[in-house]
Amino acid sequence: MHDFLLQRLHFSEGVIQLILNVGSALLILLIGIWLAARIANFAQRAMRRANVDSTLSGFLRNLINGVLIVLLAVMALQQAGIPSAPLIAALSTAGLAIGLALQGSLSNLAWGVLLIVFRPFRVGDFIHAGGIDGTVESVNLMHTLLVLPDNREAVVPNGKIGADSIINFNRRGTRRLEVKVGIGYKDDIGKAMSAVQQLFAADSRILRDPEPGVWTESLGDSAVNLVVRAYVRSGDVWAVQTDLLRSIKERFDAEGISIPFPQRELTVVQGRLPE
């Protein structure tokens, strides 16, 4: 009878201790979740004050919150009397398996963070990236949304953008346009160059610094080829280039300067050919 009472007493003490451990573990978990959210929000506000991109700051806020919650879960399990070593080993194995399964996604995520931090382009820039030309509409952690010149949308994975060269057409604010035109061999080269220079002066969209110019590029089969180069603002490239081509054609016609087309000379031999 005495042994039975001692067993009951030890059992009751064990149950009470288990209840206390579970209760304290739950308390640690609840208070820790609240505190982790406060710490993550504080970190996000600090990053915003440091002018960190909102997408990156939101991602880092969630990352900090998730890491703290995992640590709290391990602490709570230890407090409840559950061995944490097998759990940590299981989490490590699961993390490795998930990482191997999501290599492409993790690569996109890593490149998304790098693109947001280093900013090789911004929203509104016209770029060549991942083999595609388009205007950047948004940059997310996993992909970049480009609007093509014909108004189609292209969702490009960040891993593909990061693995290829990036050409930003808008970063410097100005771009150089280039127009090639041929004149006849009997036409006055100086007169043609002067006519183009007058067109430069007449168009206020063409920048004076760097100075525009026209040069003799080559002597072709049927024409003297001139190259015209001028700097304009990035947003004016297409309009100025098309207007300049039309103006050159109209001015050359008015000045009597020909724009020849390819020609071939044929020799006709009359009479009977030798066998």
Supply 142's token pair: 């996993």
pLDDT, position 97: 55
Among 59-73, 85-99, 138-152, the minimum mean pLDDT is found in 85-99
Which amino acid, one-letter code, is at 22? Answer: V
Residue with the bigger pLDDT between 268 and 111: it is 111
pLDDT, position 162: 85
pLDDT, position 102: 45
pLDDT, position 5: 46
**8 A C-beta contact, residue 145 and residue 137:** yes
**For 181-199, what is the mean pLDDT?**
92
pLDDT, position 224: 92
| 32-41, 45-54, 72-81: range with highest mean pLDDT | 32-41
208-241: per-residue pLDDT in tens? Answer: 989 999 999 999 888 899 999 999 998 899 999 9
Residue with the bigger pLDDT between 274 and 144: it is 144
Residue with the bigger pLDDT between 51 and 99: it is 51
Residue 138's closest CA among 150, 127, 122? 122
Place of tokens 């690569």: 107
Q: Provide DSSP, 160-229.
A: HHHTS--EESSTTSEEEEEEEEEE-TTS-HHHHHHHHHHHHHH-TTB-SSSPPEEEEEEE-SSSEEEEEE
pLDDT, position 260: 85
Q: Is the pLDDT of residue 177 over 50?
A: yes
pLDDT, position 239: 92
Residue 216 and residue 189: Cα distance in Å, rounded? 8
Residue 80 and residue 24: Cα distance in Å, rounded? 8
Residue with the bigger pLDDT between 142 and 228: it is 228
**8 A C-beta contact, residue 124 and residue 111:** no
**Confidence tier at 15 by pLDDT (50, 70, 90):** low
Write down the pTM of the prediction: 0.63
**Confidence tier at 247 by pLDDT (50, 70, 90):** very high
Residue 81 and residue 86: Cα distance in Å, rounded? 13
**For 161-187, what is the mean pLDDT?**
90
74-133: per-residue pLDDT in tens? Answer: 777 777 666 666 666 666 665 555 554 445 567 777 888 888 778 888 888 999 998 899
Residues forming a β-bridge with 167: 128
Backbone angles phi, psi at 122, to 5 degrees: -125, 170
Q: Report the percentage of the chain scoring pLDDT > 90.
A: 31
